[in-house]
Structure formats: structure tokens, C-alpha cells
A and B are shown apart, each in its own frame.
Chain A
Amino acid sequence: MSSSIGELVAQLLAVRGKLDAAAVTALRAQTDAEQALTHLTAVRKGSDDRLLRAAATDAEVARDKAGRYARLLAVAARHITAYVNTIAPGAASSEAGDATVPSGERLVEEAEARSRKAEAFLRRHVRKADDSEDTLKQTEQAVTTGLRELQKSLKGGGSSGSTASTSTNPGTPVDRPQLEHPATSVIMAAGAVVVGLRGVWNMVKKRRERKRFDDQP
């Protein structure tokens, strides 16, 4: 063990910081996988080619695994924090005092919470559109109309913004056609990478058919 407790604590806090940073980076990779999946899903509406299917499955698994990776790193960081507090009580404030540097775990949690928020939003609007006429077009319109509301509520989330790094999009033509569902970019901008739009969409529809909205499958 190191020469002094103080030195050990400093080293452990440095390790924790690196793990948190790595978790946040992994969340960004997760967002990229989600973006790839969104494009592939759009193309798959018109073709069910074997290669396309394989690519979409790869993107989906990449997204899920990058998320799992981020979560594991955040969990390790949390245990290191707890250990630091065991050997030097109060040395590592787990959250409250650390508002300027959010932990990786908090960011992972925030991403998940935002995802749930976006999900609730979509559910509301899918249902609303369905009351009148069950066409995807109309549902999309309803979603678009309510986007500002969602955007506003997500902006107030107090996140550092580090999970919302989809803005770097080199090489993508500015005038590209409407390949993405209008809600997708907002969901991704919010860092809500845990549930894909498609998944939300299908889940919402399934739930509505069963007339059960309150419990998770």
C-alpha cells in the first residue's frame, strides 16, 4: 500500500475520475450506434436484405453493449468512491458537493431518465394521434408539434451536456432528406440512448393494443 493515506486517496480519486470520464465517452459511442441504427431502420422500411438486417442487429448490439460498458465503469467508480470514504471518511463526496463534475454513474442515470421522459412523451403523442386516425404520418405530425415542449423540458435537465455529443457530424450533407424521424434527433440530442425510437414505438403500440399503460413488459 502507498506511503500515506493522503497519497492513496489522491491516487484513487484520480482513478475514479478517469473511470467516470471513460464511462461518459462510452455513452457517446452508444449515441453513435443509435444514430447508425436509426439510419439503417429507415432504409429497412424499403428492403429486407440480409446484409441490412445483419447491420441493424450489429448496431443494436453495439448500442446495448456500449451502454453496459458505461454502466460497469460507473459502478466501478462508485465502489472506489465508497472505498475512499472507508479509509478516509468524507474524503470523496459522492455527489452533493461535486455538482461541477458529475459522476459517470449520474450521467448514465440521467441518460436513462431522459430516455424515460422521451418515452412518456412519445407515448402520449402516439395515443393522441391514434384517437383520431391511426396513420404514422399523423402521429409524426403530432410528435413534431409537441417537440418544443419536450425540448424545453429536457433542456432543464441540468446535465453537463457531455452525453449530448451528437452534434459532431462531419460529412453529413446539410440538405439531407428527412431520413430521421423528427423525434429521433431530439431524443439523441438529449442523450437518451438507452431506448431506440423504434423500440419505443413498437412498445407503445403493443401496450396500447393491450390497453395497459402502467407496467413495463
Chain B
Amino acid sequence: MSIGEVKVALRAAIEAAQRGEEVFDRASAEARAATAAADAILNDSRDEDVSAAHQALIAAGAEVEPTRRRFVNTAKHTARYLKQLG
């Protein structure tokens, strides 16, 4: 791999990571809206499926920030390396 090829690959990696970050943000915004709606509709139900759905949504919610950070850091670390190459 020539230095030029390396740079092209690194730029493509940065683009993919940034695109992933945007797409993931969209997914989490959609999910957040759906979760708020679900909470409003189902707040007084004790059904097993309702609590299972709540639990899955809570677990999903906990993944949002850590996942997002990984997309951001993929782009950040790659960009820093690209800069090092000059």
C-alpha cells in the first residue's frame, strides 16, 4: 500500500465513521421518541410484555452514549493518525 493509498483509505474510514455517527443519531432520536410515546401510553400496565419492552428500551437507552462515543472516536483517532502522516 502506497502512502497515497493509505491516505485514501484513512479518509474513507473517517467518512464512514462520521456517516455512521449521523445515522446512529437518527436511530437514537427515533427510538427516543418511540420510547417517550410508549412510556406515556403504558405507564400503568403490569403486563409481562410491557415490562419486558420497558427493560429492553432502558437497556437500549444505556447503549446510546457509549455507542455514539465509539463512532466519534473512530473518526477522531483516524484523523489524528492521518495528520501525523502529514
> Residues of A with Cβ closer than 8 Å to B?
1-2, 8, 11-12, 14-15, 18-19, 21-23, 25-26, 28-33, 35-37, 39-40, 42-43, 45-47, 49, 51-52, 54-55, 58-59, 61-62, 65-66, 68-70, 72-73, 75-77, 79-80, 82-83, 86, 168-173, 176-177, 179
Contact = CB atoms under 8 A, between A and B. Distances in A.
Interface string B19-62: 11101101110110110011001101101011011101101100
B23 A55 contact: no
B67 A62 contact: yes
Contacts of A39: 9-10, 12-13, 16
Contacts, number: 205
User: How many residues of B sit at the interface, in one of the four size bands?
Assistant: 35 or more
Which of A28, A52, A86, A168 counts the most B-chain CB atoms under 10 A from its CB?
A52
Interface string B62-86: 0110110011011101101100100
Contacts of A40: 9-10, 13, 74, 78
A172 B73 CA distance: 21
A86 B47 contact: yes
A11 B16 CA distance: 36
Contacts of B64: 69
Tell me the dominant secondary structure on chain B's binding face.
Answer: helix
Contact of A76 (B5, B24, B56): B56
A26 B31 CA distance: 10
B38 A32 contact: no
Contacts of B28: 22, 26, 69
Q: Which of A40, A76, A168, A173 has the most CB of B within 10 A?
A: A76
A28 B54 CA distance: 24
B60 A69 contact: yes
A90 B67 CA distance: 36
B34 A15 contact: yes
B8 A15 contact: no
Contact of B8 (A52, A61, A86, A173): A173
